[in-house]
Amino acid sequence: GARAATVTAGAANAWTASIVLGGSDIAGALGFIIVSAADLTGNPLAGTPATTATSGVSTIAFDKVAPAAQAVTIVSNGVDPTRARSTDRITVYLTTTESLKAAPTAATIGGKTATVAGSGSSWTAYITVAAGDSGAFGFSIGGATDLAGNPLPTITAATNGPSTITCDTTPPSITDVSVVSNGVDKTRAKLNDVITVTFTASKDLRSKPTVTIAGSAASVSGGPLTWTATLKMTDSAYVAATVPYSIDTASDLAGNPIPVAVTGALSVYDKVAPTIVVASTTMTSSNPDPTRANVGDTITVHFVSSEDLLGGAVYGPRVTIAGRTASVSGSASDWYATYVMTKGDAANNIQGVITMCYDLTGNPLASAYTVPTTINFEKT
């Protein structure tokens, strides 16, 4: 209800009537009424009772409710709205339940003073992330009142989404890089071999890195820390002696890229098949006449290849003499094949045939090579 005001005299004919508002007073539009007054002679003041001001307003809005946050979000303009890297902007969007008298004067994000803009009940506060910033960046917004002067409680939590942004300004690094082929020698490759590059990132990557092998885009899989890039060497026009690779682009969850491409190479690429050096290939008999053989004589094929060959039971040279499997020995490009003639062998001009051999990369002999020399085998 209405309350009696305290009236005080001022200069000349000026008077003041006032009340002090309290918590029990009802919020809303507060008007006034000058009930009565008289001059010194007792004549009543004309126009009383009076309820309308002759200038200014005739009511005062009484607001005893503090403003509050209606909607609060914090986002980054980076590649991930919950993460930020150097030069990204972190922004808090604030909507209040009523208009504020002025911009909040105490706004920080991650402990840094934020720039505030807006009006009425819609406001923003932002900072730009600097190099070296890291960790969870929260926010605090306060130092504001509504139009009646009720203070805005300090706001530190979002009403929707996370209340912090993860700052990370450190670029990832690439380590533990290895390159192998699926050939007979992991350090060498030939046509149609598969080259595999494996590597590890220092922290999770947000998407597949881009990798080239032998100048072509590789197929990349794995993650988020360990990755594999593969390429099958199907380009018959590729003639380089090595197989280079390059890990060109990769970025972490905040969007920080690797500073430079990571490069290397498989040491040897060889798509050329070995050949037999005709001028250095011979076939002889242990017989006093090296062009003839009897039972028990040893036939020896000596051959030289155009490049070093693999040895061993699987990839070592294979040779037949008189149609029989010969014993092979040797190394590098210099090899011997021997066979001891038996009664079971047919009398004939016998031949030596190098049926297969492989160079160090695994390239096979293109076709069997028959030694041009023959040995006359007689069993009588």
Residue range 1-43, pLDDT digits in tens: 577 778 788 776 788 877 777 776 667 777 778 787 777 788 8
Give me the chain's average pLDDT, please. 93
Cβ neighbours, 10 Å, residue 195: 23
- Taking 90 as the threshold, does the pLDDT of residue 165 lie above it? yes
Higher pLDDT, 224 or 58: 224
Give mean pLDDT, residues 91-103.
97
- 104 falls in which pLDDT band (50, 70, 90)? very high
Higher pLDDT, 370 or 30: 370
The 10s digit of each residue's pLDDT in 233-283 is 999 999 999 999 999 999 999 999 999 999 999 999 999 999 999 999 999
pLDDT, position 65: 82
pLDDT, position 12: 67
Give mean pLDDT, residues 292-296.
96
Flag whether the pTM goes above 0.75.
yes
pLDDT, position 307: 97
Higher pLDDT, 342 or 7: 342
Q: Using CA atoms, how far apart are residues 187 and 191, in angstroms rounded to an integer?
A: 14
